[in-house]
Amino acid sequence: MYGLSSEDLAIQARARGFADELIPFEEQAEASGGELPADVTAGHAKRARELGLHSTNMPAELGGGGCTTLQQVLVQEQMGRVTNALGWVAATPPSWLPEVANADQIERYVRPAISGEREECYAITEEGAGSDVDAIEATAQRAGDTYVLNGVKWHVTSYNTADFAFFQARLRGGPHDGEHAMFLVDLPGPGIRVVRTPAYTHTISHHHPIVAFENVRVPAANLVGAEGDGMAFAYEWFRFERLMVAARCLGAAGRLTEEITAFAASRRAGGGPISDHGLVAGMLADSLTELFAARALAYETARGIDCGTDTKVSHAQCSMAKLYCSEMAGRVADRAVQVFGGRGYMRENVAERFYRELRVERIWEGTSEIQRLIIARQMIKRGPARLA
Ligand SMILES: Cc1cc2nc3c(=O)[nH]c(=O)nc-3n(C[C@H](O)[C@H](O)[C@H](O)COP(=O)(O)OP(=O)(O)OC[C@H]3O[C@@H](n4cnc5c(N)ncnc54)[C@H](O)[C@@H]3O)c2cc1C
């Protein structure tokens, strides 16, 4: 890719080197339910921080990387090359929080999240509210200098490793009755219990339990921003995370493309390498072509954000990047399994793992259908020419 500065190339190279250190642990993680020994995981987390790959999205004045959006994409792209979520040690804490957090929240949550001492999880989705976040039924009621929280949250990713949660609820009573608000909730805590921990398609150490919050009292100071602000934070987070999903999908597709190219050149069938067979060659060529297009889209979106593109425009562009990169990676993984043949169906094979793992990229942080709706609505409002 053209136009990368020496700083961009340096952080990209550090991230690639780190991904190469993590890759040898993938099969061990796959064989043990996603878990590596605690000291190994702690070592990976420490290394990510030492290499400046942790909190790349957080302000430098608070101890974060202060990286450009493009640099964040370059790092997450490399982390996406690794299966079993081993790259999640290069964590990106909530970048929207420092601007709205009060001084106490900065000290208790933001700085420790940046230094890696604390970790967050998001309790937003409910049984009846996923794509339609506005349909949440969880409640928050003011009681003196506390709020009382109630609700059952689904798919709470990293609940088993996190020590605080963002809990989104609908206010009951008061001037903002019925509006959304976001709270910081320390974990574990009285009234918070895991209902169950379902098994998911991927094999990673971060679980996604259903968690009940029953009359959980949090100090009023744990309200993030103001009453009624809850949805605004969710949108800001979606913009960032959708672009990072796109970046990790680029990494996955990049790794798979490298792996199938090497395999197709060495695997012989019918008297020569399988890459000589037109049908296999077509799968290689389509994969790289789509990856190139996807990378150009994601990098251009990131560059636009760094140059101050209008937020509404970048909102649509982040949706385009997430939509296209996640669907592209799914197609590449499917072809990769096919190119590997029977080997591609073995869990020890990277194509098999990515084939399962990449499926969720079309679901979380807004499904492909929701991304299409966002893009189409922006086209009607602003005109296609402003968006692409
Ligand atoms: C592994 C995993 C981890 C997750 N982690 C978290 C987390 O940490 N915190 C959290 O809060 N949530 C989390 N989620 C939830 C995730 O964000 C939702 O699953 C996602 O937004 C979709 O919501 P849903 O599952 O309720 O599906 P639904 O909203 O019920 O959608 C079902 C289907 O209907 C389609 N659909 C819905 N509405 C429309 C529409 N208006 N137009 C067209 N089609 C539509 C969808 O695209 C989908 O195909 C996670 C999910 C998974 C699978």
Q: What is the pLDDT of residue 230?
A: 81
202 CA from centroid of ligand 1 (Å): 17
Q: What is the pLDDT of residue 315?
A: 95
- The pTM for the full model equals 0.98
Q: What is the pLDDT of residue 259?
A: 98
Q: What is the pLDDT of residue 128?
A: 98
Q: Residue 310 is encoded by which pair of tokens?
A: 């209008």
> CA dist 4 to 46, 50, 70, 89, 295, Å?
27, 23, 9, 25, 13
* Ligand 1 pocket member 125 (CB < 6 A): yes
* Ligand 1 pocket member 152 (CB < 6 A): no
**Residue 352 to residue 201: CA distance in whole angstroms:** 12
Give the contacts of 179 (CB within 8 A, at least 6 positions apart): 170, 171, 227, 228, 230
125: Cα within 13 Å, side-chain hemisphere: 16
* Ligand 1 pocket member 131 (CB < 6 A): yes
365 CA from centroid of ligand 1 (Å): 8
Nearest residue (by CA) to ligand 1, atom 27, is: 130
* Ligand 1 pocket member 207 (CB < 6 A): no
199: Cα within 13 Å, side-chain hemisphere: 4
* Ligand 1 pocket member 161 (CB < 6 A): no
209 CA from centroid of ligand 1 (Å): 15
* Ligand 1 pocket member 134 (CB < 6 A): no
* Ligand 1 pocket member 162 (CB < 6 A): no
Run means of pLDDT, 10 residues per run, the chain, 388 residues: 93 98 98 98 98 98 98 98 98 94 96 98 97 96 98 98 97 96 97 98 98 98 93 84 98 98 97 97 98 98 97 96 98 98 98 98 98 98 97
Which of these, 201, 287, 294, lies nearest to 246 by C-alpha position? 294
* Ligand 1 pocket member 360 (CB < 6 A): yes
With the most atoms of ligand 1 within 8 angstroms of its CB, the residue from 121, 125, 204, 327 to mutate is 125
362 CA from centroid of ligand 1 (Å): 9
**Residue 108 to residue 185: CA distance in whole angstroms:** 11
